[in-house]
Structure formats: structure tokens, C-alpha cells
Amino acid sequence: MGRAAPSLVAGAEPSRRREPCRPSLAAFRLLVALGLLLGSGYCELQTPCQIQKCTTDFVSLTSHLNSALEDFDLEFCKALRAYSACTYRNSKVCRGNLVYHSAVLGISDLMSQRNCSKDGPTSSTNPEVTHDPCNYSGHTESRQHWGGEKTPSPTYLFCGLFGDPHLRTFKDLFQTCKVEGAWPLIDNNYLSVQVTNVPVVPGSSATATNKITIIFKSYQDCTDQKVYQAVTDNLPAAFIDGTMSGGDENTKSLQIVEKINGKYVEMHAKYIGTTVYVRQFGHYLTLAIRMPQELVMAYGESQDLQLCVNGCPSSERIDDSGQLPLPVMGQLLPQGGAAHPNSVYTLETATTKCHEKMLVKDIYFYSCVFDLLTTGDANFTAAAHSALQDVEALHPRRECWHIFPSSGGGGVGKGRKFFVSLGLVCSIRLVLL
């Protein structure tokens, strides 16, 4: 076949030596494309020959190169060596393939023109988007073919617990529960969160959280198992082993950040895309968490008791089918019980007090009123206000931040009971949870 074909397939910039003018790099790429067409027809009969893949990889490695840049020759030589190595691996199965032999001669000619050494680094022939396995955000962004096909962005969910206690589930359902003692909020393959609740008023069924235990489970090389525990008046800025982070010290795939000494800490678990806020108001704790939906749902049948996922059991609910009874002068109806000895709030004064911090009369506002009438403790006002701020910081959907009563504000009825319906203006989008 002579040397004519190689000079066409492997054209490049004019050489300094006195010899016939060679085609440009653009012409070489045009002939490579022609080779792809010819190769595709030929390889239908000779399937073991992978010359078409070799050529396709070379085109993908060089199509973005700019001959005006300083590193052009370096990167082009890397691609040529990768192309040459690919043809060498196919030398036996491609014997007799005209496209293959043309490519081999063309590679040799170009390497000579560019003064490329046969030994040296090569470009990757299978380019992929690199990612940090201990960064959930980066990991999800890399879930795309390097050619540009993308997968949907991950969905994040929010759960919060505060007050007497009031629970906002991952489904954006709002409940007020008793749940005295230790209860699991979250228990999946990556994270476990357990809270312990104690009565706040003698004779009342209302409770509040005085202990939170969080277990970040061991995950690949990102972190060993880390346990965090907070109790009333002891909100540490470290895990129980005394460390403040997990995993590599430089990447800090898991770390604790103290925001207010003894009152407010944040935990950031980058490897699972999860953020946790723990706060103390008065004698009680609050918790807020944001976590990817696919990880929230990664649990077995034996782990189905999770308040953040499925809400409180019906026997533990204080609200009655979405109706929240607001007690008057500390007396919770219909459960009854003695009034808090320090309770000086009426419905009117409790409403005024809560309105000082929360101008919008959403369910957080009414939870504040409920807690003041139940306990007489003004710290619950700050807890409700902070819980709403945590929603605004962590909840992924702005239109779902506020949950408004569907009853138009409720009213005082028989037996001096004040009801607020917990109807959701925000649509429930997680029907599969």
C-alpha cells in the first residue's frame, strides 16, 4: 500500500525538513473520522478487532486540544502513545484489517513529526469524572457519563424535634407526642439517632427531650463509627471518644462545629450529605437534621420504628387526628392534670408572648402557645422560634417552610379547649416513605 495512506491519515503541521508538504492536523482528524466509518463496517465481520474503539478513544482525547497552547505537544504525545498501545494490544486480532494497518503507520508518522518518545506517560483511554468518595455531594455530581448524560440531583429531607415535643417528620407531617423514655428518631444503615424524653409538668402527658444520642456508623475509609451524646447542661463539642472529627484530618468527612459554647453544636457528615443541629433551651434539647432521601430509606424491616420516618404511634399522640388542644392556664385537656405552679399565662398572654418572636401564625407559632400554656416556661418560646430557623436553614423546599393550620386559626370551644388543625398547606411529596 506504500506510504501514501499514512501521510493522509496522519497529517500534521509542516516539518522543518525538506520533504513533501504534509496535510494539517484537521485533515488527519477528518481521515480518522473516515477510518471510523470504514472500521465500523469491517468490524461487523471481525468483531474481535477493536481498532474502532482505539480510534474513538484517540479522538476523544485530542478533540479538545488547542495547538496554540504550550502543552499541546505534551498532551498530543500522551494521546498518541495511548493510541499506539491500544493498536499493539489488538495486533493479532486485527491482522489483515486495512484500517488497523493504516492507523499503525499513521501513528508512527505522527510520533516522528512531533518528536514523541515511544516510552512515557499516556492519556487515560477511559476518561471519567473523578470524585471524592467521602463527599456525598461530589459523589452524586459524578454520577454522570463523561459524555454528558446526567442523573437527577439528590433529594434531601428534613426532620426536627423540639418543645413538648413537637415532631416534624421527613414527610413534612407535624405531630405532638408523648413518647416518654427512649425513642429512635432515625435508624438506617448510615445513621442512628435516639432521644430520651421526660415529663415537664407533674400530672401532664407532655414531655421534652433531655438526652440525644447520635451514632455515625462506620463507612468505607471515610470514618470509623463515631458516637455523640448530649444531655441537659452538657452539650459537648466532641464525640464520646474525645475527637471532633472522623476520617482523614485534612478532608474532615465528619466533623463537629461548636456554634455557641454549651448551647449549640452542628455536625457535618460530608460522606453521607447529612447535617445535624443540636441546641439547648432552658433544661431541654432540640434537634434538626437534613439527610438525602436515598440514605433515609436505606433500612431493613426490623428498623421500621423511626419517628422521623413514620411518625409517632397513634397511642403516643397528644394531637387528636391533627387537632392540637391548647391547654388553658397550664391545664392540658382532655388528658387533664394539675396546672404548672409557675404558669402565669392565659391564652391571650401566651399568644402575645409567642407573637414577639414569630410574626407568622403557622404551626410553630401555635406550638409555642401550646408549650407556654402547658409549662409556663418561656424558654419554649425560644425553642419554637429556633426550630423554625432550623427549618429555614436545612429544609430544601422554601414553599414548605411554614405549615399553616387549615382551620383558619382555631377557636375556644366547649370545655375551654382551643384546637388547631394541623392541615398542611405544603403538599406531601414523599408518598413512598
pLDDT along the chain (433 residues), means of 10: 37 40 46 46 52 86 75 86 87 86 91 87 58 71 46 84 95 92 95 95 86 95 94 96 86 91 95 96 97 92 89 88 54 40 77 93 91 91 96 92 65 38 44 44
State the Rg of the chain over Cα: 33
Tell me which amino acid residue 247 is.
G
Reduced to 3 states (helix: H, G, I; strand: E, B; else coil), residue 4 is helix
Q: Where are the alpha helices (H) located in 287-430, listed in sequence order?
A: 293-296, 307-310, 347-357, 363-375, 379-394
What are 195's three cell numbers? 432521644
Give me the pLDDT at residue 290, please: 97
- pLDDT, position 169: 96
pLDDT of residue 237: 96
Rounded Cα distance between 236 and 229, Å, is 8
Please give the model's pTM, rounded to 2 decimal places. Answer: 0.65
Element (H, E) at 282: none
